[in-house]
Chains A and B, each alone.
Chain A
């Protein structure tokens, strides 16, 4: 029971906005010590897992290319392109992106887009440009919604692919429990949720558009 103190440390630390890296270390020590491990044992277990999980951090290799393109004007070009399309709006752009992200993830292509390589240099500037003029608060909301749409599209698309990690985990787990399921069945039953996610998040994006245009014409409008 005491091991749950580590979870409490995490919840409190994140809620009070302490530096998350420190919160993580303290939480690991708390749970480890509560489970009867020596401090150095906890540190070693932490270090071991830290080293084997380095691949998580490899994704930053994409930053030099993205930074270079930004230096040469990629964000500005993305904005200009959107401004030339009259029908473009933040919600519609994000809606199109949601479809593309869900479909490509459903084919197993989860790494062809992402927060560093797509959202920052392309998607967020495009969504911003399509809804200008924007107050600072609303600009922040448009950016956050761009990042959110990438996540929603990814999460509710990837489980339709047969060989994705989560499907393999389910198959393996059920197999250990003596139940055989076909990966195809699992991915098939991810489709209803995927469709619902498209309609729910899609509807939110269109409502988001409406709120943005109301803000532009309403009394709070700036500029």
Chain B
């Protein structure tokens, strides 16, 4: 069965290649820092399951130290110049879009088809990982297709991948580190404590106040934890179930659906949701790390108000 292990093997090999190419890159003054950073990524993907919990903790700590002490540079693999790219764009024309479109099409087909494919009764692809396997496959096919169609040098896919990876730098690891932080917070009972605080200050007498407190609580808690999924059980158990639903008779489906979406407003506002908010800023080489959050803040705040109004208007139809 094709599942996470094969995808991790592929990722491990890619990061391993990034490490080797980084070490050989004399243009980058910090080349060994980059090589160590991507090399540890590779080790984690290839052998993470054999390191044990403490070993993985040390590995994560080492990655944080490399990035935190400024050992990461930006590599300079040989690539095409802007002028060359203009010419190439004219030569290849609309064909350039084909591999770019292959990615979404294959993800779509894979997500729909992989779940049904079986070999001698056993699923060919782990149904739980169908999307991730599709994405890996699509990325691989698109790279091979682009290499053949546009006659690129053999090392180009990995060198170009490294070029982009170095631009993203430490931000590439932040989502995974934050997920690990979430686990430690859960272990330490951080969420429970915040939930108890929120319940303590929630007004219990007015329906509108309870609705507003729940929506606002979902958003604020999500900002602090970086994830609406962490906020949902705490806030819903603390405010929505006893008050909005229990005391004022709100429809659970409406309350929970809109409550979750209030959490998403918080996701748009927090640097802790790194893969949505900080990684794009790195990918687009924005000067302000928080530029994407600034761009979406007005939408997020207005949507939070809308959610309060909608919940108040739609949840109490009986």
Residues of chain A whose beta carbon lies under 8 Å from any beta carbon of chain B: 1, 3-4, 6-7, 10-11, 14, 17-22, 24-25, 27-28, 31-32, 34-35, 37, 40, 42-51, 53-77, 80-81, 108-109, 111-113, 115-117, 119-122, 124, 140-141, 143-148, 150-152, 155-156, 159, 165-166, 169-170, 173-174, 177, 179, 181-182, 185-190, 192-193, 196-197, 200-201, 204
Q: How far is the CB of B98 from chain A (nearest CB, A)?
A: 10
Known: A28-B181, A42-B184. 20 other contacts (CB 8 A): A7-B194, A37-B187, A46-B183, A47-B59, A47-B180, A49-B184, A56-B179, A60-B11, A61-B7, A61-B10, A61-B139, A71-B80, A109-B107, A113-B104, A115-B280, A124-B284, A147-B281, A151-B268, A156-B261, A159-B264
What chain A residues lie within 8 Å of B233 (beta carbons)?
173
Report chain B residues within 8 Å CB of A116: 164, 283
The answer on a CB contact under 8 Å between A151 and B276 is yes
Once A14-B271, A64-B139 are accepted as A-B contacts, the answer to whether A34 and B188 lie under 8 Å apart by CB is yes
Minimum-distance CB pairs A-B, first 7: A67-B160, A47-B57, A47-B56, A49-B183, A73-B89, A22-B68, A64-B161
Which one, A117, A144, A166, A204, contacts B228 given CB within 8 A?
A166
Most buried by B among A57, A186, A204: A57
Binary CB contact string for chain B from 120 to 162 against chain A (1 if under 8 A, 0 otherwise): 0000000001011011101110110011001010001111111
Chain A contacts for B284, CB-based, 8 A: 119-120, 124, 143-144, 146-147
Min C-beta distance of A58 to chain B, whole Å: 5
Determine the main DSSP class of B at the interface with A: helix
Residue numbers of B with Cβ under 8 A of A are 4, 7-8, 10-11, 14, 41, 44-45, 48-49, 51-61, 63-65, 67-68, 70, 79-80, 82, 84-94, 96-97, 99-100, 103-104, 107-108, 111, 129, 131-132, 134-136, 138-140, 142-143, 146-147, 150, 152, 156-165, 168, 170-185, 187-190, 193-194, 224, 228-229, 232-233, 236-237, 241, 245, 252-254, 256-258, 260-261, 264, 267-268, 271-272, 274-281, 283-284, 286-289, 291-292, 294-296, 298-299, 302-303, 306-307, 310, 314
Write out the residue numbers on chain B whose beta carbons fall within 8 Å of the beta carbon of A169.
229, 232, 260
Query: Are A20 and B274 neighbours in the complex by a CB distance under 8 Å?
Result: yes
Q: In the complex, what residue of chain B is closest to A190 when comparing beta carbons? A: B257
Main DSSP-derived SS at the A contact region: helix
CA distance A145 to B162 in the complex (A): 26
